[in-house]
Structure formats: structure tokens, C-alpha cells
Structure 1
């Protein structure tokens, strides 16, 4: 007997992205969306598409919000996606194959194809960018990290699925930059709370290292102009992370 699938997502002000995302997973047994306090018609669009919509504005990080969203799911398996992601037909077929003949205890990794300034990247560390998103609902859930949360599934067998998850990472550069800055701030706050510190030397060595890793070690040069630009963006993101941590540890930031 085929297992039931719950597609689970968290969202905030995603009205422009949501219709295409929902269309790509319309074949699922149920779709659950936890709204984090949208000021647009995200919830209305979701409800009109038959999605089970819930709201929780007490933001405690991506990991906690994903845990809350999963708590509303009823399927045997969870497929966790974001509103700026789309399931390709090949990936849909692979997921349905898992539901028809699942491997007990396994988690399933999906190759994510990331979009950056007009191009789906094929190198630069952005492809295949495998993420573990399909898993048994009652067995696994996400950790409670503020940012860069991951599935808590230590020692679980990992099975790679065919097909890609399309990720519209950077359609608008200004919005992407704001999101990167928010991620960097959350990363620094989390490390600061754990007693971590950064040095001035460390800021620059990590920044230069991020640029060279993206461009050379991860083949960014093969992605053309976008590869060079992404190397700079990754370096900038790294600079922001470690500089904020440096500022927090010295009391130079109001967020301390």
C-alpha cells in the first residue's frame, strides 16, 4: 500500500512565489503551510488551492518553525520544501516510487538546482547541492537552529533520488542581499550565544577563503559571469558573518 505524503512548508509574504510552488506539488496527499505573519495574501492563495493553513508569528528560527509546521502534518512521509522551490516531473516520479516501496528508516536526498541572476548554476558549489527533504514523519524532524537548519537524522541511511528541485535562490539581487544579511546576522547571534568569537585576522582569512573556494575549488569559473559574481557574494556573506560575530563579542553591536 502506498504511503501518504504531506508536503510541508513555512512561508511569509510569498504570494508571488506560491502559485507555481503549489502547482508543482498538487499531486501530494496533503499540503500544510505555516504562515509566519504575512502581510500579503499568502494565506488566501494557499487556502484557495486546498492547502491546510496555520499561523504562528512567534518566530524562534527556521528550525523551530519547521518543527511546528510538521506537527500539523498527517502523512506517513514528509516532503519539506520552500515557497521558492519547485518539484520537477522527474523528481515527482522518484518520490512517488519511494512512497510505493519505501525503505524503512531511510532519508532521501534531493539535488537542488539554484538560480542566480538569470542562470541555473551547474558548479560553484551550488549544484547538485543535495538536501535531505523526504523522510518518515514520525521518525525525523528538523533541529532547532536559528538559520541553516538541517534534518536531525544521524546514522540514518541516505538514498539519493533522481530529478532536481528547482530553487529560485536569486531572482532579485536586492532581495537576495537582504536575505543574505539576515542569515549572516542570525548565524553570528547563534555563535555568540554559544560563546564563539572572531578575530580581525579570521575575518579576512575566511572572506578570502570563501572567494577562492567558490571560484576555483568549486568550479565557479565554469559558470561564467555568474560564477565570478557568486564568488564575490559568498565572500561578502562570509565577511558579514564574521564581522558581526566580532562586533557582538566586543559589545559593538546593539544586538548583543
Structure 2
């Protein structure tokens, strides 16, 4: 009927956490415009869970961590609204992006999902190159039109039933807190990527153990202009290569463990 307006679309902001104190505060503040903020915590030990329990705008629950895809799929099932904004705890939605998100979900011609380009922060300064300048991720989507594929354990992939578009404003990603934090993150990613490869029956070989980490460093530092980021570019490119090295080390360990189990259970 003439004169009837389209109801305002509601938005659920979802975040998964583990020991994110010092980051989660500004992430939560940046999504305070959402109608629901839901956090799934993997039994943090640094006060993250307690902070979230006491936050008036947050619903928090704890769930054992298996892998990133499983954890995000669990969080998605808990959401009350169809429109989902999924963030990492070290990501921040700026003022202009907040306005764009609200405008987008209330557009009758909106796509089913949206890619976000990101600004990467090395501590508190911007990382302009080092392979991240073209990085983009699905962060905004309709729950009824998308799901996380179970083929990926890390760097989870969204399967969208419909069209994906790109938002203009960028998400801010505080990717590098300090050396040990980033190193630990890359090693964990490498181990999960190894499990992913192992489940797909990919086999370890020494050539890839040597070649792939060297190529990763060369690609990020030289081809993707990491050298223009100075010392930051060296550190990030090295740690990214270390994550690839750990992937093949872990794949070798998994194969040895599997072979040992096989021989132990043989009659």
C-alpha cells in the first residue's frame, strides 16, 4: 500500500574470542550500533570472558574451540537476526563504515553478502603493502543465504547463495600486537592448514618444505612490495613464511603419527 515504509533491518554482530583483552574493548565499541552483539569465547584465561560478561550490550557464551570454521558456524547458529556482521576481535568498524553498513542492509536492492577490504595495522601504524593491500573478506551477509564451508579449518570460506558485492569503506584490522603474538598466530594457522591438507590426503615432501616458505617470503616482501614497509615488511613477511614452514612440519608429524598408529594396530 502507498505510504508504507520498509521495516528497518536488524543486525547481529558476531565475534569469536580467545584471550583478546586489550583488543575486544574497541571492537565491541565499534559495533555498538548493531541490534545484537553476540560473542563466542573459547575459554579465555586473560579476563576476556569476565569483561564480556559484565558488558551491558553483549551476550557471551563459551564453547570449546575445534577450528575456526566450526567455531564461527556455532556462533552463526546463535544469531537472532538474518543480517550478520562477523568480525575478528582485533577488527574495528570505523564511523563511515558503520553508516555504510546500516545503509546497505536497509537497501531493498542489497546483495546477499558483502566483501570488506581491510586496513592492516602493525601495532598502531598502517601496513601499506607486504601482501595485504588487496586482502578482502566476507564480513556482512544474510544468514539465510550463506554458510561456512566445512572444507576449511582456517581462513574460513563463506558459501553464498546469491550475489556478493564490495563495500566502499574499509575495515580496520589490528593484525600485529607484538612479535610473539603474531608468531603464535602464524604457527597456529600453519598447524590447522596442515590438518586441512592431511584430511584431504595431501602428502608431505621435502621440496615443498623448503620451496613454499621461501616463495611466501619472496612473494610478500618483493612481489607484493613488503620492502616498502621497511622493517615492518621484513617482520611480517618472515612470520608469514614461518607459518607456511610450520604447515609442512606439522603435516610431516601427522603422517608419522598416522603411520605409527597403523603399525601398532596391525595384527
- Could you say whether these structures have the same fold, taking a TM-score greater than 0.5 normalized by the shorter chain as the test? yes
- Other-structure match for 1:148: 155
- Are 1:244 and 1:253, in contact at CA under 8 Å, matched by a contact in 2? no
The equivalent position to 2:181 in structure 1, one of 175, 184, 197, is 175
Q: Pick closer, same or farther for the CA change 1:243–1:102 going to 2, 3 Å.
A: farther
**Matched residue of 1:69: which SS?**
helix
Q: Whose radius of gyration is greater, 1 or 2?
A: 2
Query: 8 Å contact 2:90–2:174 — kept in the other structure?
Result: yes
Partners of 2:182 and 2:239 within 8 A in 1: no
| RMSD of aligned alpha carbons | 2.2
Report the equivalent of 1:242. 248
The whole-number CA distance in structure 2 between the counterparts of 1:142 and 1:203 is 29
Conserved in 1, the CA contact under 8 Å of 2:186 and 2:242?
no
**1-structure distance, mates of 2:210, 2:259:** 19
Do residues 55 (structure 1) and 62 (structure 2) align?
yes
- Contact conserved, 2:186 with 2:240, CA < 8 A, in 1? no
Which digits, 9 at most, give the CA deviation of each residue in 1:167-199, with x for residues without a partner?
Answer: 111111112111211111111122112211121
Q: What SS does the corresponding residue of 1:229 show, helix, strand or coil?
A: helix
Question: Which residue of 2 is the match for residue 125 of structure 1?
Answer: 131
C-alpha distance in 2 between matches for 1:24 and 1:249: 44
Q: 1:22 aligns with which of 4, 28, 34?
A: 28
Q: Which runs of 5+ in 1 are unaligned?
A: none
Q: Classify the secondary structure of the residue corresponding to 2:167.
A: strand
Q: Which of 187-196 and 81-90 deviates more?
A: 187-196
Residues 118, 172 of structure 2: 8 Å contact kept: yes
Residue 206 of structure 1 deviates from its aligned partner by: 0.9
Query: C-alpha displacement at 1:16, in angstroms?
Result: 2.2
Deviates most, 84-93 or 243-252: 243-252
Say if 1:9 and 1:34, in contact at 8 Å, map to a contact too: yes
Aligned mates of 1:255, 1:244 — CA distance in 2: 16
| SS state at 1:235 partner | helix
Give the corresponding residue for 2:197.
Answer: 191
Query: What is the CA–CA distance in structure 2 between the aligned matches of 1:6 and 1:39, rounded to whole Å?
Result: 26
Equivalent in 211, 215, 227 of residue 233 of structure 2 = 227
1:137 to 140, 143, 150: 143
Whether 2:209 is the aligned partner of 1:209: answer no
Distance in 2 between residues matched to 1:137 and 1:52, nearest whole Å: 18
> 1:112 corresponds to which residue?
118
Q: Secondary structure at the match of 1:159?
A: strand
Q: Normalized against structure 1, the TM-score is what?
A: 0.91
Q: Which moved more, 1:189-198 or 1:241-250?
A: 241-250
Aligned length: 254
**2: CA distance, partners of 1:36 / 1:160:** 30
TM-score using structure 2 length: 0.87
Matched, 1:12 2:36: no
Which whole-Å deviations, capped at 9, do the CAs of 1:56-89 have from their partners, x for residues lacking one?
Answer: 12x2211111111111111220000011110011
Question: Which string of whole-angstrom CA distances, capped at 9 and with x for unpartnered residues, describes residues 113-162 of structure 1?
Answer: 122255321112212411111000122122233212121226x3221112
**CA–CA distance in structure 2, aligned partners of residues 108 and 140 of structure 1:** 11
